[in-house]
Structure 1
Amino acid sequence: MSADWRAELADRIRGLILGASPEIVEEVKWRKPSNPDGVPTFSASGLVCTMETYKDKVKLTFAKGASLPDPAHVFNASLTAGTRRAIDIHEGDVLDEDAFVALVRAAVDSC
């Protein structure tokens, strides 16, 4: 990952995820020639979420997001998917960190 706004955002989000629950473990999976760094995954007795970077965003995909309470409407992508939900964060977007941490904790509880 290049050292730009996406790397800084990913580091901040990683801290929020890992700080949300002592049960969460980070691993890197799905390394391939087109993505040698792989995809950071966060789990706690099951997959909580993944974090990917794209040219224009950082994407967090929650494996069981459709079943999680989201009263602050943090999810803004994959809203019609049957099981998962995602959060796309573009440069300059503001993430409601308290609501995000609540989603992570709910995802851990659902594992």
Structure 2
Amino acid sequence: MKKAVTVKNSSATKADGASPSRMIDGRIKELGDWRGDMLGRIRGLIKEADPDVVEEWKWRGVPVWEHDGIICTGETYKAVVKMTFAKGAALDDPAGLFNSSLDGNVRRAIDIREGEKINEKALKALIRAAVALNASKKKPAKRSG
């Protein structure tokens, strides 16, 4: 029987010292099907689009990619791998990648089903736009004195 892992904050690690990146590695391996392959592919595209991305593991097992705030999450369900962009409603999506959570005021998501192809160029542009948006909203450092 597997032990449940509770992660309370972004810097938390499992009791065995596993980093968020290792926990994501484990999720990809444990899925062992097209969803794991797709999550791994998405992860690679995120890293290509933003080499400075930080991987986190939040909310009891959700891979999260951050740069000056959350870029997106990578959830896996029975029929879809879902990329939820934290500030997706504020992003231009000229390729029409967003196909889920379209009614919300803040988030937007991309549901990817088995066998679907990813428009890699458009996805990387969306990731870069999310990073740029986060950077533009970053609070300036407090001045001492």
How many residues were matched structurally? 105
Question: Does the aligned pair in 2 maintain the 1:18–1:25 contact within 8 Å?
Answer: no
Q: Indicate the residue corresponding to 2:55 in structure 1.
A: 26
Which structure is higher in strand share? 1
CA distance in 1, matches of 2:118, 2:51: 22
Q: Give 1:2 deviation, angstroms.
A: 1.7
Question: For structure 1, which runs of at least 5 residues remain unmatched after alignment?
Answer: 32-37
TM-score by length of 2: 0.71
CA distance in 2, matches of 1:78, 1:55: 18
Q: Indicate the residue corresponding to 2:42 in structure 1.
A: 13
Q: Give 1:23 deviation, angstroms.
A: 2.5
Name which of 83, 87, 95 aligns with 1:72: 95
Q: Indicate the residue corresponding to 1:35 in structure 2.
A: none
Greater alpha carbon shift after TM alignment, 16-25 vs 71-80: 16-25
TM-score by length of 1: 0.92
Kindly name which structure, 1 or 2, has the bigger radius of gyration based on alpha carbons: 2
4+ runs deviating over 6 angstroms: none
Q: Indicate the residue corresponding to 1:102 in structure 2.
A: 125
